[in-house]
Amino acid sequence: MINESRIPLIYSRVIVAAASGSPGDSKQLLQGTRINTRSVDSLDAGITLPDYRRLLRNAIELTGRSTILLDAGARMPLAAHGPLGNAATCSPDRMSVLDLLTRFIKLRGFFVDVWLERTGPTTRFNLRVSDELGDEKAAALDFILGTVMRAMMFRGLIAMAEPQVQLARPRGPDHGYYERVLGASISYEQPGNCVIFDTEDLNQPLPAHDPQQFDIAIQKCQALMIDELNQGSRRDAVERIFGQSPGMLWTIDQVAYALHTSARTLQRRLKKEGTGYQEVLDSWLKKLAARYM
């Protein structure tokens, strides 16, 4: 179960800001959660999955708009992403931004599985939301979609071909609004959820690229990723490493290096959790095979 895992508090700050029409709305939005208005101003805290679900539900009920989470994600400023936002602002191309977003979402948005597929002329950004979000799955997906498209379309000095969005859900009455906010054409009742970009567009150099600032931002991103990877159990940390490159068959030495530890120490800590490296790897490969099937 992942109910006690922590979700970045920045998510709640952005949602509260988007859904609040008056000062008193913040209290209603946080009602029924263990989030308080004081903690919302802190960046070093997190919220649990049940609290996140309640926040999503409260936002829709308070505003009376099923699209409020889409709006919240689409309005999130790049600065809210910290070093990731800095890297995106001065990145060499949109492909670099998409790669960074994928890695960060895997680390921090544990309730959504994301992966890239590059197939010739197109690059697919795939998303699958955990069933543990229950009735709030659609809202959680909207928030991630809005966030990703905001980051990608922000680099608007170079025109892009219109991305294509595929959603597993049926077409709803807000179809036109979704297309306007996402800046993409949408097809429904698809096998899964994804955004399809033109690969050539993603690889086009961006005029605002600053190599020095980009390198500094990447170093900060890597440090943040290491901090995130080392939270929770060793098994979780190992699986997060696997998730960064699903097609790679990681050795224990490579994983240990990524976690800034030794293979012997990693194996010892996994043993304390009642498992071993090979067992974690075999389990991951089975899940990966099931997903591709």
Specify whether the CB–CB gap between 78 and 151 falls below 8 A: yes
Instruction: Give the pLDDT of residue 108.
Output: 66
* Three-state SS annotation for 123-173: EEEEEEECHHHHHHHHHHHHHHHHHHHHHHHCCCCCCCCCCEEECCCCCCC
Instruction: Give the pLDDT of residue 268.
Output: 87
Specify the residue for token string 């008056």.
22
Low-confidence ranges of the chain (pLDDT < 70): 1-6, 36-45, 107-110, 154-158, 224-232, 244-247, 260, 291-293
Instruction: Give the pLDDT of residue 40.
Output: 47
pTM of the model: 0.76
d(C-alpha 178, C-alpha 182), whole Å = 6
Instruction: Please compute, for residue 35, the number of CA atoms within 13 A of its CA located in the half-sphere on the CB side.
Output: 35
Average pLDDT value over all residues in the chain: 84
Instruction: Give the pLDDT of residue 6.
Output: 63
Specify whether the CB–CB gap between 141 and 72 falls below 8 A: no
Instruction: Give the pLDDT of residue 246.
Output: 63
Q: Say whether 256 sits in a helix, a strand or coil.
A: helix
Does the CA dihedral 259-260-263-264 come out positive or negative?
negative
Instruction: Give the pLDDT of residue 4.
Output: 46
Tens of pLDDT, residue by residue over 12-59, are: 889 999 999 887 898 899 999 888 655 544 444 578 889 999 999 999
Instruction: Give the pLDDT of residue 12.
Output: 87
Instruction: Give the pLDDT of residue 42.
Output: 46
